[in-house]
Amino acid sequence: MNDVLDFERYELREELAYRFTPDRREFLQTLGAGLLFVFAADAQNAAPETRIHVGENGHYTVLTGKIEEGQGARTEIAMAAAEELGAPLSRVTVLMADTSQVPNDGITAGSGTTPRTIPAVRRAAAAVRKELDKSAQSVTPADWKVLGTPQVRTNSRDIVTGAHQCPSDVQREGMLYGVVLRAPAFGAKLLSVDEKAAGDVIVVRDGDFVGCAAPTSFSARQALHKIAATAKWDVPTTAVNSTNLFDHLKAKAQSGAASGRNRPIEQGDVDAALQQAQRKLEATYTAAYIQHAPMEPRAAVAEWRDGSLTVWTGTSNPFSVRDQLAQAFQIPAAKVKVLVPDFGGGFGGKHTGEAALEAARLARAAQKPVSLRWTRAEEFTWAYCRPAAVIEVRAALDGNNAIGAWDFTNINSGGSAIDSPYKSVAHRIRFLPSDSPLRQGSYRALASTANNFARESHIDELALAANMDPLAFRLQHLDNDRIREVLQAAAQKFGWKDRVGKKTSNRGIGLACGIEKNSVVAACVEVEIDPRTRLPRLLEICEAYECGAILNPLNLRQQVEGSIVMGLGAVLGEGLQFERGRITNARFSAYKVPRFHDTPSKMDIVLVDKKDVAPIGAGETPIIAVAPAMANAVFAATGYRPRSLPFAPVPARA
Amino acid sequence: MAEFRFTVNGKPRMVNTAPERPLLEVLREDLHLTGTKYGCGEGQCRACTVLLDGKPAITCMLPVKNAAGRKITTIEALAPGPVLHRVQQAFLEEGALQCGYCTGGMILRTVALLEATPRPTEAQIIQTLDGSLCRCCGYSRIVAAVRRAANDAVSGGDGR
Ligand code: FES
Ligand code: FES
C-alpha cells in the first residue's frame, strides 16, 4: 500500500473502498413548527446555512455537521449557543450530523471544532438573539455564564441508563445482520468461492466484495464460515514484517519528495555546523504502528427505500461518507442520507466509511435494513493505523551551550509538531514519506507524539551534555513564551527543583514539553522500573496545559486525563505485530492497552486559562508530553535511554 | 433451535434459538436490550457485562443455553423509575464517562462490588475493575465515581 500522508492535514487519501455494480433488478424521508434561521456563514464559506431552530416552546435546536465521539463537541456547542442566546443550557439541544438537515461543518478532526465551529455557532446564536431582542448585547468572555463553567455531557443520563443508541445499537424493522468475507492477508485477491455453500441466507458477491446477511449475526457468521471454507485466494508474498519494518521504511524513504508541503524547514548550513561541532549527539528513534482501538468497532445500519439510502454509522466525516456512498452506488448524493449517532470513540480512527458501504451493499441485495458491525479482530486488522516512524536526530552544542546544529528527519509518520520550538544556529527539519506496508492514517495528535518524543528525548541529552538541569536548559533555549509558562507551571506544582537530582532506587523523574495545533503542554513525571518487566510504571504525573480561553473545564480535564493514559499505552506496550500480510496480535489479549492498574495514582492537571486568547481545540495535544517525559525519567532512574515507542525493557544492570 | 427461559430485568422471557449463540447477541438482537455492548468477544473488555443471578458476568462468550433458568439484569433495568441508582448518579457527577461505550459495564461491576464490599479500598476498586477496558481512558474518574457511590451509600444517599 502506498497511501499518501498529507503533510499538514495528514488525512488518509485512498481509492474508494468499493465500487459496486449498479443492479436495477435489486431495487423495488423533523423539526416541528417554529423559526428556522438561515445565515450566511463565515466569509470563507459564503453558502447560507441553517444553524439554529427556535421552537414555539422557546426551545432552541442547534444544527451542526460535527459528531460526538466522547470528545465533548455536543456539550461545547450547546454551551456556546446557550451563552449567546442568553438561555439556560437545558433549553438547547444539538442536532448533529444528519446530512439531510445540518450544515456541512466538515470532518470532526484536527481539533477543529473549537476554533472553527464554535465561533460559527456563537455568531449564529448572537444573531438570533439580536433578531428576537434588538437591544441584546454581544457577550464577551468576561461575562460568560455558561461557557467557562464545568458541564457534564448533555446526554450523559441516557448513557448511564443504557438508553443511548450508538451506531451498533440502531435497530430497524425487519433488520438483518451482515458479515463480510475478509482476505486472509493484505492484498490477497479472491480467485474463487462457492456462494451457494452458505445455504439459505442472503449472499452478495460483487467484485472482491463477498458478504452474507441473515436474521441473527450468529447465523450470518455460520453462513460466512461455510463460504470462507470454499474460498481460494491469491496471496501476495511480502518480506516486510514488524521486525524488519524500520529498515524497510528507511530504505524506502523518499528523500526526493521534499517539495511543496514537505519542503524542509532550513536555516544555515547544518552539515557544516555538525562537522565543526565538538559536542555532537546522534540517535535514531522509532515508533511502532498502533491502532486506535475505540471501544465500539466500526458499525453501520443501512436501509434502502425507493432508491434512496439512509445509513446510520460512526464516522467523523459524515458528508464525505455520504458522497462515498453516492459514488459507490452511482446515485445522486441527494438520495443518500447519513446519520451519525454519538458513537463509542474514534481518536482519529473513524474518518472513513467502510462499514457504511458494506452494510449498504448487503441491504440493497436483501431489500431489508442491514446492521453490520466489525469484530474486534476486523477493527485491529482492517482499520487504518497510526503510522510507524523512524526519526533521525543529529544535534550539536557550541561553546556557549547554544544548540549549534539541529538536524531532524521524520521518516513515514508525518510532519505535525516537527518544527522545533528551541532556538538553534543552524537547522534542517524534514519529513520524508516512505512505503508503508500497513494502511495508515490519522490518530489523536498523529505524528506529533513521535516527533515530540524524539525531540524532547534529544533535548534532555543535550542538557546532560551541557551539564545543565533539563528544566533550566529548556527555559534557556525555548523560543516560545507560552511553552515556557506551562513548563514552569508544571515544574512548580510538581516540585521539580526540590526533587531533581535526588536519587531513589529504581525511581526517576523527567519532564517534557511541546506545542501542537497552537496549544501548549508540559509534563513532569515520576516513574518506577518494575523489577519483573523492566518497564516503567508511571507513579505520578503533573501536566500543565494551555489552549486559550477554556470553554468547558470539566471536559477539558477529561480530555487531558484521557490523553495522558492513552499516551501511556503507546509507551508501555501498544504495537501492531505483523507478518506475511497478517496482523498477528489483533486482539486485546495480545495487544495491550492501558488498564486501571496502569493509571498513575497521582495525576495533577494544571489548566492555564487565557480568557483573552481565542479557544483552541484540546482533544489531542495533551498526549504529546507523556512519552518523552517518561523516557527522560527512565534515563534518570537507570542511565538507560528508551528510544522506541513502545519502550523496550530496561536492560538488567551488568 | 431450542427454547430457553430466563428472567430478564424482572420479567420472564422465552427465546427459541440456537443453543450456542452468545447471550450478548440474544439480549441485543432478540430482546432489543442494546445497553449491553460488544467490545472484544474474548473476555478482555467486559463491555458486555450483565448481572447474572446478581453477580457480574460477561455475556460475549456465554452460550445462551447456560443462561437458562437464571436471572439477568442489564443496565437498562438498574433504575426502573426516574430516579437514578446511586452508582449511575455518581458516574454522572464525577464525569466518569466520555464516549460512554464502556459505562454500562463499569456501572454494573461497581454495583456488584459495592454490594459485596460497601467501603472498598482504592486497591480493591482497581483490582475489581481491572478487567474492564475504557479506551477513552477515563480510569481515574471511574475510580472517583466508585468512591463517591460508596460514600453516598454510607452517608445515607438516596437510600438505595
Ligand atoms: S465483549 Fe465481552 S468481554 Fe469484551
Ligand atoms: S468512556 Fe469511552 S470507552 Fe469508556
How would DSSP label each residue in A448-501?
Answer: HHHHHHHHHHHHHHHHHHTT--HHHHHHHHB--HHHHHHHHHHHHHHTHHHHTT
Backbone angles phi and psi of B153, in degrees to 5: -65, -45
User: Which residues of chain B are in CATH 3.10.20.30 domains?
Assistant: 2-77
The rounded distance, in Å, linking the Cα atoms of B30 and A150 is 40
- Average pLDDT for chain A: 92
Among candidate residues A99, A20, A98, A17, the one with its CA nearest the CA of residue A364: A20
The ligand whose atoms approach the alpha carbon of A293 most closely is 2
* Ligand 2 mean position, distance from CA A294 (Å): 8
> What architecture is the A245-290+385-645 domain classified under in CATH?
2-Layer Sandwich (3.30)
Where does A286-419 have alpha helices with state H? 318-329, 354-366, 376-382
Among candidate residues A92, A125, A119, A91, the one with its CA nearest the CA of residue A105: A119
pLDDT tens figures, B122-155: 999 999 999 999 999 999 999 999 999 999 877 7
CATH fold of A7-153 reads Aldehyde Oxidoreductase; domain 4 (3.30.365)
Q: Candidates B40, B46, B132, B135: which one to mutate for ligand 2, based on the most atoms within 8 Å of Cβ? A: B135
Among candidate residues A122, A154, A128, the one with its CA nearest the CA of residue A141: A122
Q: Assign residue B3 a region: left if phi > 0, alpha if psi is -120 to 50, beta otherwise?
A: beta
Strands in A270-388 per DSSP E? 279-287, 299-305, 308-313, 336-339, 370-373
pLDDT of residue B57: 98
The rounded distance, in Å, linking the Cα atoms of A319 and A632 is 43
Nearest to A295 among B35, B135, B141 (CB): B135
Where does A339-447 have alpha helices with state H? 354-366, 376-382
Does the CA dihedral A343-A347-A349-A353 come out positive or negative? positive
pLDDT band at B4 (very low <50, low <70, confident <90, very high): very high
Backbone angles phi and psi of B149, in degrees to 5: -65, -40
> What architecture is the B2-77 domain classified under in CATH?
Roll (3.10)
Tell whether ligand 1 has an atom less than 6 A from the beta carbon of residue B60: yes
User: Which residues of chain B are in CATH 1.10.150.120 domains?
Assistant: 86-154
pLDDT of residue A13: 65
Backbone angles phi and psi of A16, in degrees to 5: -50, 135
Among candidate residues A171, A168, A443, A177, the one with its CA nearest the CA of residue A314: A168
Tell whether ligand 2 has an atom less than 6 A from the beta carbon of residue A294: no
The rounded distance, in Å, linking the Cα atoms of B41 and A231 is 25
Q: Candidates B28, B60, B74, B109: which one to mutate for ligand 1, based on the most atoms within 8 Å of Cβ? A: B60
Is the CB of B76 less than 8 angstroms away from the CB of A565?
Answer: no
| CB atoms near residue A159 (< 10 Å) | 26
pLDDT of residue A299: 98
* Ligand 2 mean position, distance from CA A176 (Å): 27
pLDDT of residue A12: 61
With 0-12 CB in 10 A as exposed, 13-18 as middle and 19+ as buried, what is A33? exposed
Report the residue of B76, B129, B140, B141 to disrupt the A interface, i.e. the one with the largest count of A CBs within 10 Å.
Answer: B140
Q: Where does B86-154 sit in CATH, by number?
A: 1.10.150.120
Chain A nearest C-alpha distance from B46 (Å): 11
> Across the strands, what pairs with B13?
B6
Is the CB of B126 less than 8 angstroms away from the CB of A157?
Answer: no
Q: CB of A343 within 8 Å of any CB in chain B?
A: yes
Nearest to B133 among A217, A563, A595 (CB): A595
Q: CB of B91 within 8 Å of any CB in chain A?
A: yes
Q: Which residue of B has its CA nearest to A214?
A: B29
Q: CB of A171 within 8 Å of any CB in chain B?
A: yes
Q: CB of A1 within 8 Å of any CB in chain B?
A: no
Chain A partners within 8 Å of B95 (Cβ): 150, 152-153, 554-555, 557-558
Which residue is associated with the grid cell 417554529?
A34
Distance, C-alpha A59 to centroid of its chain: 34
Q: Is the pLDDT of residue B156 over 60?
A: no
Tell whether ligand 2 has an atom less than 6 A from the beta carbon of residue A103: no
Does the CA dihedral A585-A586-A587-A592 come out positive or negative? positive
- Secondary structure (3-state) at B37: coil
**Considering only CA atoms, which residue is closest to atom 3 of ligand 2?**
B134
What's the length of chain B? 160
* Ranges of chain A with pLDDT below 50: 1-9, 24-30, 40-48, 654
Q: Is the pLDDT of residue B160 over 50?
A: no
User: Which residues of chain A are in CATH 3.30.365.10 domains?
Assistant: 7-153, 168-234+298-373, 245-290+385-645
Among candidate residues B60, B47, B59, B43, the one with its CA nearest the CA of residue B8: B59
Which residue is associated with the grid cell 442536532?
A95
pLDDT tens figures, A169-226: 999 999 999 999 999 999 999 999 999 999 889 999 998 899 999 999 999 999 999 9
Distance, C-alpha A55 to centroid of its chain: 36
The rounded distance, in Å, linking the Cα atoms of A639 and A651 is 10
ipTM of the complex: 0.96
Interface subset of B 51-80, CB within 8 angstroms of A: 74-76, 78-79
The ligand whose atoms approach the alpha carbon of B45 most closely is 1
> What architecture is the A168-234+298-373 domain classified under in CATH?
2-Layer Sandwich (3.30)
Nearest to B29 among A70, A71, A217 (CB): A217
